[in-house]
Amino acid sequence: MKKLFPILFAGIACITASCQAEKHNTLTAEEQADGWELLFDGETLNGWRDYNGTELTMPWHVVDGTIQAHGDGSDLTGYIVTDRRFDNFILDWDWKLSHGGNSGVLYHVVENPFFKVPYVTGPEYQLIDNEGWEEDNAPTKLEPWQKLGVDYAMHLPDSTKMKVNPQGEWNNSRIVFDNGHVEHWLNGEKILEFEAWTDDWYARKNSGKWENAPEYGLAGTGVICLQDHGYPASFRNIKIKQLPKKEKPVKSLFNGKDLTGWTAYGTELWYVNPDSLLVCESGPDKKYGYLATNDYYTDFDLTVDFKQLANGNSGIFFRSFVEDDATVHGWQCEVAPRGNDSGGIYESYGRGWLVQIPEEKENILKEGDWNTMRLRVEGDHIQTWLNGEPMADFHDEQIGKATGRIALQIHDGGGIKVLWKNLNIQQL
């Protein structure tokens, strides 16, 4: 009997170790101390909801400790997202697909009724059973940018490093987004890395699938999204570790030479004059025109010098986005002739004026001379100053939930000309 005890206890230890090894959707003490959080508790879908929704109605459910997609989704439906937004992080999860299955995990997804699907804003780590999909859809073949592990329609993984478990078995994936540095991992191997928002990144974005999706990939924060793309898919052990945001120095948005870093929308005129000043001017169509940053700026402190020539009806949009027809939506810090609320805040859709300027502050604007507008946006707190004098100071829940570009505006009606210089921004 004495000789059996070590064997018996060894057997019990093995069973215990096996049980522990099979316990999913939990964090070790070390992981918790290191800052990891679970996004799925293994029992409920708490913390998840429909894309652009307030509750969960999509056909997802929990079965045996996994989140499962029924496979009823389509290009326009079947997306669920986290309640919370994330910017810099390590996201880790296990996944299993049906034969020929097609799914994906998206991040930095922006929610807005103008965006009908999440993939027009959020990059995607593609999950797909390459061989099974091609068998089921023969003779159609997947393009390289559609296959497993890609940064969808943007960057391809190193196929020599991809070790995929057979269809029907679990695999593990990881996304790292660290202040613009991106990595894709598969089963413990780094298969892809790139830098977001570089010249190469913009060239890829503007020449392929996303050339008509102006907001794709620009957001540095957003919700995480799981995709039901018409095939059953299972997920477990979804966990995230948030990474610190690196402090960024004050930088100029305008180089004094050309429109590098900006994109013009509409038919109005934007150019740099011989004095190295940025000029916005009404064109022959006399419509609205916009010059928007290529990058998103969520929390920032911006100062801009402007001089109004002729009719100076313009403005500085913030946390804004571009619709397909080149219309800009968002919030505007007003720049306009005296008597028209320069420094006030206007919403371009829905509510209209949020803050107008008291009559006694209208003479702060210097007509025909240079003025300085300062705009500070942090969370839901918006502040403006004109020539050092406070103009607006308020909190707004809707603005607090948004992210987007900075954009200069030309009002419609014609006859407008404004000069701009010293566009300096500090990201917070």
Strand order in the sheet with 124-128: 48-50, 79-86, 222-228, 102-109, 124-128
pLDDT at site 15 = 40
Report d(CA 169, CA 317) in Å as an integer: 49
Q: What is the pLDDT of residues 36-64, one digit of tens each?
A: 999 999 999 999 999 999 999 878 999 99
Q: Which of 192, 201, 200 is nearest to 220 (CA)?
A: 201
Per-residue pLDDT for 67 more than 80?
A: yes
Reduced to 3 states (helix: H, G, I; strand: E, B; else coil), residue 61 is strand
Contact predicate 425/251, CB 8 Å: yes
Q: What angle do CA 24, 27, 32 make, to 5 degrees?
A: 170
Q: Check: CB of residue 242 under 8 Å from CB of residue 34.
A: no
Q: For 82, how many CA atoms within 13 A lie in the half-sphere containing its CB?
A: 23
Would you state the pLDDT for residue 77?
80
Q: Which of 268, 261, 292 minimizes the C-alpha distance to 406?
A: 292
Beta-strand ranges (E) seen in 17-65 are 36-38, 48-50, 60-63
- pLDDT at residue 349, as a whole number: 83
Average of per-residue pLDDT values in the chain: 92
Give pLDDT, residue 151.
Answer: 98
Q: Does the pTM of the predicted model rise above 0.85? A: yes
Is pLDDT of 3 > 50?
no
Higher-scoring residue by pLDDT: 417, 7: 417
**Phi (first) and psi of residue 144, to 5 degrees:** -55, -35
Report pLDDT for 40.
98
pLDDT reading at 409 higher than 70: yes
What is the per-residue pLDDT across 158-184, written as a single tens digit (0 to 9) for each? 999 999 999 999 999 999 999 999 999
Could you write out the DSSP letters of every residue in 80-94?
Answer: EEEEEEESSEEEEEE
pLDDT at 22: 72
DSSP 148: T
pLDDT digits (tens, 9 = 90+) for 292-307: 999 999 999 999 999 9
Tell me the domains of the chain and their CATH numbers: 27-242 (2.60.120.560), 251-427 (2.60.120.560)
pLDDT at 148: 98
pLDDT digits 0-9 by tens, 273-291:
999 999 999 999 999 999 9
State the Cα–Cα distance between residues 79 and 178, nearest whole angstrom: 25
> Residue 59's pLDDT is what?
83
Quick one: the chain helix, strand, coil %, rounded to 5? 15, 45, 45
As a whole number, mean pLDDT of residues 175-195 equals 98
pLDDT at 210 over 80: yes
pLDDT tens figures, 107-157: 999 999 999 999 999 999 999 999 999 999 999 999 999 999 999 999 999
Check whether 10 has a pLDDT greater than 60: no
Span 311-365, pLDDT tens digits: 889 999 999 999 876 789 999 999 999 999 999 999 988 899 999 999 999 999 9
Distance, CA of 134 to CA of 247 (rounded, Å): 46
pLDDT given at position 21: 55
Tell me the average pLDDT across 236-265. 96
Instruction: Write down the pLDDT at residue 379.
Output: 96
Res. 19: pLDDT tops 50: no
Q: Which residues contact 261 (CB under 8 A, 6 or more apart)?
A: 253, 254, 255, 293, 294, 295
pLDDT at 170: 97
